[in-house]
């Protein structure tokens, strides 16, 4: 139970810190936003790569299986 309270406390502090007003010259807003944008881009790229993999994998196995079945009968000319 204490661990949950610690996590909640940490999350509250992170949210407060992210929402605090900071004068522009003392702010790390640009760095934080840049990091969030980079993370979002990476997550998007990974999801696209997963989608490509899911699309290509069945096609690859189908092509590989048909090549293997034709190669398995050497007497066919």
- On the question of pLDDT at 72 being above 60, the answer is no
Q: State residue 60's pLDDT score.
A: 72
- Tell me the pLDDT tens digit for each residue of 58-68: 877 777 677 66
CA 36, 38, 41, 47 dihedral sign is negative
- Per the confidence metrics, is the pTM higher than 0.75? no
Average pLDDT estimate for 14-25: 70
**Measured CA angle at 69 (ends 65, 72), to 5 deg:** 135
Buried b (16+ CB within 10 A) or exposed e, 35-57: eeeeeeeeeeeeeeeeeeeeeee
| Closest residue by Cα to residue 32 from 15, 18, 16 | 18
Give the C-alpha separation, 23 to 73, whole Å.
Answer: 76
Q: Work out the pLDDT band at 49, boundaries 50, 70, 90.
A: very high
């Amino acid at each position: 139970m204490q661990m949950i309270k610690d996590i909640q406390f940490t999350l509250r502090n992170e949210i407060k810190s992210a929402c605090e007003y900071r004068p522009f010259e003392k702010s790390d807003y640009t760095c934080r936003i840049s990091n969030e944008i980079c993370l979002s881009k990476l997550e998007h790229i990974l999801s696209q790569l997963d989608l490509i993999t899911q699309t290509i994998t069945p096609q690859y196995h189908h092509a590989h299986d048909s090549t293997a079945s034709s190669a398995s009968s050497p007497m066919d000319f």
